Amino acid sequence: MFDAMDILIVGSVVAAVSREWHLDAATSQWINSANVAGLFFGALASGWLADRWGRKAIFQTTLLTYSLFTGLSALAGGPITLMLVRFLAGLGLGGELPVVSTMVSEFSPAKQRGRFVVLLESFWAYGSVLAALIGFLVVPTLGWRAAFLIGALPALYVVVIRRWLPESPRFLVSQGRVAEAETIVQQIETDAGVPPATKPPEVTAISVPKRQVRLGELFSPAYLKRTVVLWVMWATMNFSYYGIFLWLPTQFVRKGFSLNQALLFNLIIALAQIPGYFTAAYFVEKIGRKATFVTYLLGAALGAFFFGQVALIGKDVGAILGWGSFISFFNLGAWGVVYSYTPELYPTWLRATGSGWAAAFGRLFAFLAPLSVALQINLFGNDGTVFRVFTLVMVVGGLAVLLFGPESRGRSLEAMTA
């Protein structure tokens, strides 16, 4: 929730600072892209660090990093300063997302793992709504700097994580720290009302040799196909999501709607994410990861096509809200599956690294997406063409997973990654 709020506040802020500082479209989009560049480097480093130092430590560090730099964003005096601070905030944001999904997958039972992670990701929808509310209520009245100060509040949540969130037992076992892992499992059993085993399993039965992370393992014969599928999936999802949703408030203003109208449209469209996530959480265990992801992504592709051909060109408010909500419902439902599916395809000692590098590769396309939109508008002057590109990209991502991705529904992490 906090991640989404922080990232998507920027969309509303860019629309406001563009007017205040008289920025052209290209400069405005560079602010978005600077934030996404930070996401890339954060994801690249955090997964590897989480596989070496632990999920909990990196979770706390990344949350604190992006919260503090979001607060400092309120002090920016011009576009260059704002780009720099948003890049630094992006380091924390990009680092946290893959680590959290890895952690939740490692705590979840196989029969509910996909649902748990999709429900985790559903809180992105609440953060999106919070960001849209801040954009609609705070930016026009108190200004964009106040919005960034609100975005610093998640730093306080580090206290909660430090006190109540345990380290992943799977990570501890992978590091040979079996006694610590057993203590945590016993505490979870106690909290759940399950009597702990009278005789814990023998250390030799549950421990594994400690392994050091080697990035080359991602491209070894055992994992190359999975790595390629995940990277294509992350690339298409990032390009479509950040290209469409970070750009929308500015694009509505460009079409002649007032800033207040643009931010209200953004809020309404964001609300459609919530049922998208919850339906995906149901289907991901009912029909599987692949079928759910492909169905939802192709639904988002269909919505993008009609949004560009009908809604924006005609400036039809009903069509804008209808097709915009259609994209939001299906694209964010597909995102829930992405975070569920990714950590399931790697072993514990490589899981956070694999998830982080897949996310980082996707962030390259998130970085390029807003810039490509500005370029396409300048080249073609046609919003319909821009959205046909988004449609094609999402179709490619869906086909890649359908044809080449393994199914992981109901299988233990060990069975998937042996």
pTM of the model: 0.83
> pLDDT tens digit string along 166-215?
999 999 998 889 999 999 999 999 988 988 776 655 654 444 556 666 77
Q: Judge contact between 405 and 290, C-beta under 8 A.
A: yes
pLDDT confidence of residue 260: 82
pLDDT confidence of residue 168: 94
pLDDT confidence of residue 206: 46
Nearest to 367 by CA among 25, 21, 16, 30: 30
pLDDT confidence of residue 15: 80
> How does DSSP assign 166-194, residue by residue?
PPPHHHHHHTT-HHHHHHHHHHHHHHTTP
In whole angstroms, how far apart are CA 95 and each of 41, 88, 112, 211, 342? 8, 11, 25, 22, 15
Give the percent of the chain with pLDDT over 70.
93
Who's near 278: CB < 8 A, 6+ residues apart?
Answer: 119, 122
Q: Categorize the per-residue pLDDT at 323 as very low, low, confident or very high, splitting at 50, 70 and 90.
A: very high
Identity of residue 410: G
> pLDDT tens digit string along 218-273?
999 999 999 999 999 999 999 999 888 877 877 787 777 887 888 888 889 988 99
Who's near 27: CB < 8 A, 6+ residues apart?
Answer: 18, 79
How far apart CA 344 and CA 210 sit, in angstroms, is 20
pLDDT confidence of residue 125: 85
pLDDT confidence of residue 131: 87
How far apart CA 61 and CA 68 sit, in angstroms, is 11
* Mean pLDDT score, 365-377: 80
How far apart CA 341 and CA 405 sit, in angstroms, is 10
Under CATH, what is the fold of the domain 2-175+210-417?
Answer: Growth Hormone; Chain: A; (1.20.1250)
The domain spans of the chain are 2-175+210-417
pLDDT confidence of residue 199: 63
Least confident of 8-17, 29-38, 205-214, 376-385: 205-214
Taking each helix axis as running N to C, give the angle between helix 55-73 and helix 25-53, from 0 to 180 degrees, rounded to the nearest 10: 160
pLDDT confidence of residue 312: 64
